[in-house]
Amino acid sequence: MTDDPPPDPMEKRIRFGCGMLFGIFLLGVSLLKFVGTSLPLWYYIATGLGAVVIGLLAMRLGDEAYRKLGSLFRWW
At what angle are helices 41-61 and 9-35 packed, to 10 degrees?
150
Domain ranges for the chain: 9-72
Nearest of 31, 8, 76 to residue 62 by alpha carbon: 8
Q: What percent of the chain has pLDDT over 90?
A: 36
DSSP state of 37: S
| Angstrom distance (rounded) from CA 59 to CA 56 | 5
Is the pLDDT reported for residue 48 higher than 80?
Answer: yes
| Angstrom distance (rounded) from CA 19 to CA 33 | 21
34 vs 23: which has the higher pLDDT:
23
pTM (two decimals): 0.80
Confidence of residue 75 (pLDDT cuts 50, 70, 90): low
pLDDT of residue 37: 73
